[in-house]
Structure 1
Amino acid sequence: MTRILHVLDHSLPLHSGYTFRTRAILRAQMARGWDVRGITGYRHIADGPLEEVVDGIRFHRTPGQPAEGNPLIREWRDISAHADAIDALVRQWRPDVIHAHSPVLNAMAAQKAAKRHGLPLIYEIRAFWEDASVGNGTGTEGSPRYWLTRQLETHAVRQADAVAVICEGLRSDLIARGIDPDKIIVSPNGVDLDQFGDPVPRDPALTAKLGLEGADVVGFIGSFYDYEGLDDLIAALPRLVRARPRAKLLLVGGGPMEQALRDQAMASPFADHIGFVGRVPHDQVEHYYAQVDVLAYPRKAMRLTDLVTPLKPLEAMAQGRLVAASAVGGHRELIEDGVTGTLFAPDDPKALAAALAGLFADRAMWDERRIQARRFVERERNWSSNILRYEPVYQRLLARGSAARRAA
């Protein structure tokens, strides 16, 4: 039985797009008959034992506490501690392949263990760390730290035996850096339809609690980061309400921009049309999808959103919801305008309001739109089929390792 060790930033029981993708990958690989485990570094902040099983998946933790002091020295020490934990687990469990997931710190830690034990390494990039820091407001494009992180990313890709990326935007960027296209596979974001594929009916009691009876409901379910453009969504609401007086906005989730968004909503002339729910347990999120007519994703135009495809629009499609999204590169990879969703100009509340009003004015096409979007997810973004993209890569790396051992 093939053993795959996944090196991770963080994992379940924490909830994020990162952990849900990880869960989907590992569960699908287990269903294929592979033996898989995960190991996290110090960015996994949940309390728990050094080894635990969550949702049927076995995770190991890096022992100890994060280093303190200068950020560069701290990160280097954290990499070393993570590498030592990976090395100890490799000695104990004897995996056949190491599969490291971004950010690049994980790849650097995994490479040490892979080289020491002669194991093949695949490095999976979900977003470039330097661009993610800009999107999260913790970095600046073109700064020395941004440049250094970009160099580390490129070096890690060159050192890996194979590279996986979640979308064509990331693949094209790596090719432009001189990486061999044959070394890269695209393993796109997907939906675990076994867990997320059966929409629940709208709960009338929850509808009443949220004050959504008879409303045209626009919603966002996810993390409140600046790059998500939720300020544009709130800014678009007055125009939308003037066109559709029954329109209401439901915001589910939380994050760094939450207070600023609440302040903006309170200052809106239509504050009573905006509802903040806060974070909800993941096993309850389907009930909130069921309350929404149109899920809106007004991501701002920037390098991160042009290169990276999000997960949330796919979940909305799987749930039978309409999708409206800004026409940034990551959305254009997922959404065919007028077929599986509606695209509008980014950074433009007026265009956003017009797109939403147009959807509510044309309900006759809703059923067909939902059918087409759901078929797209089932055909091209279903984890039960997406997982097959890894198999030939693992087989090639294992065969190469066997040949090298025979030669030695």
Structure 2
Amino acid sequence: MPADPAAGPGDRPTVLLLVGGDPDELAAALVGDLGVLLPSLALLQTGPGAATVPDRTVLRAGHGRPRWQRAPLRVTGRLLPAGPRAALAARLDPRLVPAVRSADLVLVLGPGAGSVAARTRALDPTTRVVVGPGPVRTAAAQLARGWLPSGPPRRRAILPQDELDALCAAVRLLRGEAPPGPEVRERARLLPWATLDGHQRQVLVEALLPLLGADDVVLRAWAVLAGGDGDAQALEAGTDLLAAADGVLDGDPGTAARWAALALRLLPAGAGTSPRGLLRGSRTGRALTDPLPAAADAAVAAPEPDSHHRVLVLARDGSGPPLRTALRASPVVDVTLLGGGDGAVPSALRGAGVPDALVEARLRAGLGRPGPAYPSFVAAVQDARPDVVLVDGADQRAVLASLVAPAGSRLLVVLRPEDLDAPWLPLLGTGRVERLLVEDDATASRVHELVPGVVVEVVPGLGSLRSQTPADDAARTLREVVLGDIGRLADRTRAGEHEAAMALVHELLARPDETVGPAVLQQAALTATKAGEPSTRLAVLRRWAALDDRDLLARLVREQEGRLREFDPGWWPGDLAPRPVDPVPGRVLHLLKASLPQRTSGYAVRSFYLLRERRRAGEDVLAATALDFPDEPAPPVQDVGGVPHLRLTRTEVPDREAPDQHLDAFARRLLDVVVEHRPAVLHAHSGHRGYELALVALAVGRTTGIPVVYEVRGLFEAVWTSDVGRATRSELYRLRRELESRVLTEADAVVTLSESMREDIVQRPPTRAGRTPDPARVVVVPNGVDAEAVGPRDPRADLRQRLGLGDGLVVGYVSNLDHPREGQETLVEAVAVLRGRGLAVSALLVGGGERQEALERLAAERGVAEHVVLTGQVPHEEVGDYYALLDLFVVPRIDERAARLVTPLKPYEAMSMGVPLVVSALPALLEVVGGGERGATFPPGDAGALADVLAELLHDPARRAEMARSARAWVREHRTWSAIATRYDEVYEIATGARPGSAGGVGEPVHGGDEGA
């Protein structure tokens, strides 16, 4: 196969070589090289000369003659001189005829050449015949030129041996003519680029030296590269090569680039020698290292700004996944990886090689004449539409990225220590790369020495970001550098630094509009949400909507306006006109956010039992659930425990609905229900935000004249976040608390679950209207148990075995895993302490939620994964079997506002089942255990103290039994649903004005009105 990929076997002439007698040494060498160069060469030798020509056919005068003619011709041939003998053989041997007629070129050497040539021309006058050593050598050289590449050869890992032999033969044949001309010289110089194999390249260089001369700058460079002549010789050869490149730079930048790439290969590996001095001394080198001209900048169009921040990471050596993890600080950030075996990064750009195509692309860009290069890579970059390109390594990929990164994108390069000894750092150019990231000051100093003027950022621990255990500070610095304000906002929010995060949000809002893009504003909106700052979030959304005319942004603004509207003291849902109602005496309509059978929460269980007991006592009771509950098909009325439950569902629910719009629709729908069923009392229970069901009920009560009871199941103003430290320090908390207080003061009577909650309600500061809840109208109706259904039962051995609890003692808790206030972490830590003391104790955590994986990780870190069982969600009807497995029921709630005030339902169930109780020493829980006779206590969040209490009780079964007996007796006497439900009598008397000292009903129906009316 020829070296020039444009030429093929069909382009070669068919050559016949006629050799007369014994060729001399030079002729034999020429014949041998032609045989290598042209495998199909026909070799005919006349006369009985020595077998110096391989694979030849010997022409004989007697060949093909009758036997009687052969002997005389043989004798004649022996007597004749070589020339006449060759002529005779050529004339009489019939094999010459087809050979000549099939040839395009006949070469004739040796004695009798003239006669043989004459005979050949006579056979076929159209065939070209070349006679004699000189003309034959010239013709052979012409044939050899066809094997020289006419342009840059396709580089292959290794050439087939026959092709390598042919190229060397072609070079030797070229040496047989006069000194090579410029064209032959330039084409011959390309041969070492045909192979990537060092040995083959050295063979070609050695073959070329006699042809081009030892002083040829290109061959000398290849020879130095192959021979390892020393750093000084390598630098000298590189300098000469770049000087030669300057001579062809304007007319042939491709050749200049190849020579420059070869010069870069000559740099001593690992010697710390900067290529900058070598390059800056030549015009070619300066074009490779100068900042890119404007015309050459940005082969890819700048991305349109949108609400996502796109980061393209060019990874190396598996660094992609860890870097992606480090940068995924926010849902606003999209990270795309290139270089993980996806094929987008060409193999030539990986490793220690110096790709000619890359150097040419950089050189052409430096000259302001960019050309196409690496189209798959450019397409991948274009598809990613990056705002930031992060390259791990100041290497070939970084150079290419500097050529093709979009004009509006930022280019950042992470420099590895080994990059300091590679040739690529100066080729990056200081104009396109925003900054280089290095790990220490020493590396930064080296970079400034090698590439003056480049911006360097020191990131301690930078190398750890390529591992699975990155340094936190390094990851945070990387995010700040790569993501800018998005990274700063996300990190401060994630770290709970909300004041600092909000200060940055306000700074962003103060900047000119054109300097803050949609992605930053989206992150600012998320930050404001996490910080509980709805007014600032609205300002951010309005700023964002001014840049983005999509309907989505208009809806987000409208929804946020709706969230804030419900806090307006003059706003009532529904804008309802007066519609007086003649109530049915004694009829009570309960308004619930959810109920059985669709929900099995403690909220739904409490509602079920209290309403059922009121119905059993003869009260005319019905319930309505919140608008659009349940979110599944359900009949318009469902019987739940004998109580009709009205489902206020809509046939079409809007995809996006602002909170005030939802409450408007809810109020109008509830008004229709009230007008139809005419209750004497509207009893609203806490909603998802606490106050919203009561707000709707009060709007309807104002319109119809029906008194409203508000049952406070929890104080939700502080549960909008799992960040306990932020929960009570935000605008959202202040707004919710104000609205909760407003609803409490507007209600005709208030129900709550514990004395702690009642104390909080009656001690609230005045609302903006100057009102406070009336203590006389606040009644405690605690949680309870169904004494008929919840009682001691034998533990199921099969369940214990299935859960893997073993034979030791079991402590546990039944609750959701969604909110950190429940404090299951403290119980896991306490079990680890007890196991460390040698006690055979396991923990059983019943319930599901988003914190389950985190709790499993904690158990594994503490070495008790086998002794902490997390069940996930358990059907309500099966929970009793899990209670029965417990030796102690632990309520490990942390010291948080809602935990201090709200009494959970589950401790009462444990007490009713005869399971002894241990609780955090919080006011609401102390009410449950009394002075300690019904349960033990420990300081909230103190795992060591909890372990001490558990250890003491686990060693004292008699005390556990007494605690369980006392707790069960108290629950059955004071906390059964049937007994508790009677307390509603007092509540309804207060609400309707039948109890002395109460505030009475809301009076005549009104429309609109001011706060407190």
TM-score (ref. length: structure 1): 0.92
Match of 1:315 among 899, 909, 933: 909
Q: Do the aligned residues in 2 keep the contact of 1:10 with 1:43 (CA within 8 Å)?
A: no
Q: Do the aligned residues in 2 keep the contact of 1:136 with 1:227 (CA within 8 Å)?
A: no
Q: Do the aligned residues in 2 keep the contact of 1:243 with 1:357 (CA within 8 Å)?
A: no
Distance 2:723 2:653 in 1: 21
In structure 1, the gaps of 5 or more residues are none
Does the C-alpha gap of structure 1 residues 135 and 402 become closer, same or farther in structure 2, counting only changes over 3 Å? closer
Corresponding position: 1:305 with 2:895: no
Write the deviation string for residues 179-210 of structure 1: whole angstroms up to 9, x where unpaired. Answer: 221111111111122232x2221112112212
Corresponding position: 1:25 with 2:610: yes
Write the deviation string for residues 365-398 of structure 1: whole angstroms up to 9, x where unpaired. Answer: 2221111101121222211111111102213434
Q: Do the aligned residues in 2 keep the contact of 1:244 with 1:357 (CA within 8 Å)?
A: no
Segment of structure 1 superposing worse, 241-250 or 59-68: 59-68
Does the C-alpha gap of structure 1 residues 367 and 156 become closer, same or farther in structure 2, counting only changes over 3 Å? same
The residue that corresponds to 1:126 in the other structure is 713
Match of 2:646 among 47, 60, 64: 60
Q: Do the aligned residues in 2 keep the contact of 1:66 with 1:78 (CA within 8 Å)?
A: no
Corresponding position: 1:333 with 2:911: no
The residue that corresponds to 1:233 in the other structure is 827
Corresponding position: 1:215 with 2:808: yes
The aligned runs of 1:345-384 (5 Å cut-off) are 345-384=939-978
Task: Please tell me the residue identity of whatever aligns with 2:957.
Answer: R
Task: Please tell me the residue identity of whatever aligns with 2:810.
Answer: V
The residue that corresponds to 2:660 in the other structure is 76
The aligned runs of 1:8-23 (5 Å cut-off) are 8-13=592-597, 14-23=599-608
Distance 1:368 1:200 in 2: 17
Distance 1:27 1:135 in 2: 34
Match of 2:748 among 161, 171, 178: 161
Q: Do the aligned residues in 2 keep the contact of 1:67 with 1:75 (CA within 8 Å)?
A: no
**Secondary structure of the corresponding residue to residue 706 of structure 2:** coil
Write the deviation string for residues 203-233 of structure 1: whole angstroms up to 9, x where unpaired. Answer: 1211221223422001111111210001111
Q: Do the aligned residues in 1 keep the contact of 2:590 with 2:622 (CA within 8 Å)?
A: yes
Write the deviation string for residues 318-346 of structure 1: whole angstroms up to 9, x where unpaired. Answer: 11001111111211111135311110011
Write the deviation string for residues 133-155 of structure 1: whole angstroms up to 9, x where unpaired. Answer: 24587973221111111111111
Match of 1:34 among 619, 623, 628: 619
Task: Please tell me the residue identity of whatever aligns with 1:218.
Answer: V
Corresponding position: 1:268 with 2:857: no
The aligned runs of 1:143-182 (5 Å cut-off) are 143-177=730-764, 178-182=772-776
Corresponding position: 1:106 with 2:700: no
Match of 2:637 among 48, 51, 57: 51
The residue that corresponds to 1:88 in the other structure is 672
Distance 2:792 2:723 in 1: 31
Displacement of 1:399 after TM fit? 5.2
Segment of structure 1 superposing worse, 375-384 or 338-347: 375-384
Distance 2:742 2:991 in 1: 19
Does the C-alpha gap of structure 1 residues 67 and 128 become closer, same or farther in structure 2, counting only changes over 3 Å? farther
Bigger-Rg structure (1/2):
2
Match of 1:278 among 872, 875, 897: 872
Write the deviation string for residues 76-99 of structure 1: whole angstroms up to 9, x where unpaired. Answer: 122222212221111221111110
Distance 2:616 2:680 in 1: 18
Distance 2:947 2:931 in 1: 16
Segment of structure 1 superposing worse, 45-54 or 313-322: 45-54
Does the C-alpha gap of structure 1 residues 370 and 125 become closer, same or farther in structure 2, counting only changes over 3 Å? same
Displacement of 1:239 after TM fit? 1.0
Q: Do the aligned residues in 2 keep the contact of 1:108 with 1:156 (CA within 8 Å)?
A: yes
Does the C-alpha gap of structure 1 residues 160 and 134 become closer, same or farther in structure 2, counting only changes over 3 Å? same
Write the deviation string for residues 7-50 of structure 1: whole angstroms up to 9, x where unpaired. Answer: 11111120111111111111111111112122122474442233
Task: Please tell me the residue identity of whatever aligns with 1:58.
Answer: P
RMSD over aligned Cα atoms: 2.3
Displacement of 1:109 after TM fit? 0.5
Q: Do the aligned residues in 1 keep the contact of 2:630 with 2:649 (CA within 8 Å)?
A: no
**Secondary structure of the corresponding residue to residue 698 of structure 2:** helix
Distance 1:361 1:261 in 2: 27
**Secondary structure of the corresponding residue to residue 212 of structure 1:** coil
Distance 1:129 1:43 in 2: 21
RCO comparison, higher one (Cα < 8 Å, 6+): 1
Segment of structure 1 superposing worse, 87-96 or 282-291: 87-96
Larger strand proportion, structure 1 or 2?
1
Displacement of 1:404 after TM fit? 6.4
Distance 1:130 1:63 in 2: 27
Corresponding position: 1:259 with 2:848: no
The residue that corresponds to 1:393 in the other structure is 987
Q: Do the aligned residues in 2 keep the contact of 1:139 with 1:146 (CA within 8 Å)?
A: no
Task: Please tell me the residue identity of whatever aligns with 2:955.
Answer: A
Does the C-alpha gap of structure 1 residues 46 and 340 become closer, same or farther in structure 2, counting only changes over 3 Å? farther
**Secondary structure of the corresponding residue to residue 98 of structure 1:** strand
Does the C-alpha gap of structure 1 residues 49 and 242 become closer, same or farther in structure 2, counting only changes over 3 Å? same
Does the C-alpha gap of structure 1 residues 176 and 96 become closer, same or farther in structure 2, counting only changes over 3 Å? same
Does the C-alpha gap of structure 1 residues 43 and 374 become closer, same or farther in structure 2, counting only changes over 3 Å? farther
**Percentage of pairs with the same residue:** 34
Task: Please tell me the residue identity of whatever aligns with 1:173.
Answer: D
Q: Do the aligned residues in 1 keep the contact of 2:628 with 2:648 (CA within 8 Å)?
A: no
Task: Please tell me the residue identity of whatever aligns with 2:875.
Answer: P
Task: Please tell me the residue identity of whatever aligns with 2:978.
Answer: S
The residue that corresponds to 1:202 in the other structure is 795
The residue that corresponds to 1:117 in the other structure is 704
Distance 1:142 1:44 in 2: 32
Q: Do the aligned residues in 2 keep the contact of 1:124 with 1:163 (CA within 8 Å)?
A: yes
Distance 1:66 1:307 in 2: 36
Distance 1:214 1:168 in 2: 40
Does the C-alpha gap of structure 1 residues 135 and 66 become closer, same or farther in structure 2, counting only changes over 3 Å? farther
Task: Please tell me the residue identity of whatever aligns with 2:660.
Answer: W
The residue that corresponds to 2:885 in the other structure is 291
Does the C-alpha gap of structure 1 residues 81 and 226 become closer, same or farther in structure 2, counting only changes over 3 Å? same
Distance 1:369 1:314 in 2: 13
Q: Do the aligned residues in 2 keep the contact of 1:325 with 1:343 (CA within 8 Å)?
A: yes
Q: Do the aligned residues in 1 keep the contact of 2:852 with 2:870 (CA within 8 Å)?
A: no
**Secondary structure of the corresponding residue to residue 871 of structure 2:** strand
Q: Do the aligned residues in 1 keep the contact of 2:707 with 2:1001 (CA within 8 Å)?
A: no
TM-score (ref. length: structure 2): 0.38
Displacement of 1:244 after TM fit? 5.0
Task: Please tell me the residue identity of whatever aligns with 1:18.
Answer: Y
Q: Do the aligned residues in 1 keep the contact of 2:707 with 2:1002 (CA within 8 Å)?
A: no
Segment of structure 1 superposing worse, 57-66 or 134-143: 134-143
Task: Please tell me the residue identity of whatever aligns with 1:3.
Answer: R
**Secondary structure of the corresponding residue to residue 367 of structure 1:** helix
The residue that corresponds to 2:514 in the other structure is none
Distance 1:156 1:136 in 2: 26
